[in-house]
Structure 1
Amino acid sequence: MSGQQESQGETLDAYDIGQIMEAIPHRYPMLLVDRIVDVVLGERATGVKNVTVNENFFQGHFPRHPVMPGVLIIESMAQTAAVLVVKTLGPSAHGKLVYFMTVENAKFRKPVVPGDQLRIHVVKERQRGNVWKFAAEAKVDGVVVAEATYAAMILDK
């Protein structure tokens, strides 16, 4: 993507981990998206999170029955949306952060366990000024494991 002008509505292939880390400030252990694929700037994206037994949260959630905490699934949705927002805004997003405002209608349908690959589908519902609203679903093997709608605000650091 470097050296290439991106515009809203443009369909892109993917953002790798390096490009994700350029777009959002999250780092281990809070970086919860490994790749962004199927990107349409200003509209939608799909994030990928490979869930491994080495994740630090599995030590305590739960030691003999590891389950990814639902709140971290929601966070992976938010991070996927944040990359979409930052990449959509382009250079005007430099020096800005994306903050959660609301989470609504969160549902957790099936546990996410080590070995699963989360595919996080986010769709922009609307944007008003610096507030963006998204609908998201997280799937494992094509089955919805979680869903939510949420809003985020883009602010200076």
Structure 2
Amino acid sequence: YRDKYRVAVELLNETRAELDEFQVSSRELEQELEQELEATEAKHADLQERITRLEADKEEWKNKFIALQKQHSSTVSAMQLEMDNLRSERDNTLIAIRDLEMGNDELESKHRVTHSSLLDMEIKYNRTIEEKTLLEQEVIAKQELDEECQRLKDDVRDANNEIAILRDRLAKA
């Protein structure tokens, strides 16, 4: 019986040592996973803030674009009306012809400015589309981070369950 008792005591001591070692490594793993989770959550929050900011910028540029489109339309309508008036005046007098030439020069200048503004807005619109694409990519990256975060949480939960099972086994032994 003494030999069996010594063997049982040695086995118990070895099991305790293994449990202690496992608990230490489990705590270290849990700390690492918690640190990774905190870093992932911080990155997630930063990305969410950036998305919100970029969406606000996108909406602002969209509103500016719409306003400029309306302005351009009214400017074109006004120019058309003015050109019709100038053409009818041209038929009446030479002074009207001179006035019409000056008006046409002015209208062409406005048209160039308007056209230039329109081109600028098209460039800005294209940039907005590119930013939207980048935002969509960031949303995908965010989803991947969320999935990684959930996986890490599941790993922590599984590790805790394994620890509980080992503790139960040790308590029963």
The alignment's TM-score, normalised by the length of structure 2, stands at 0.22
Q: Which has the larger radius of gyration?
A: 2
Say which structure is richer in strand.
1
The alignment's TM-score, normalised by the length of structure 1, stands at 0.24
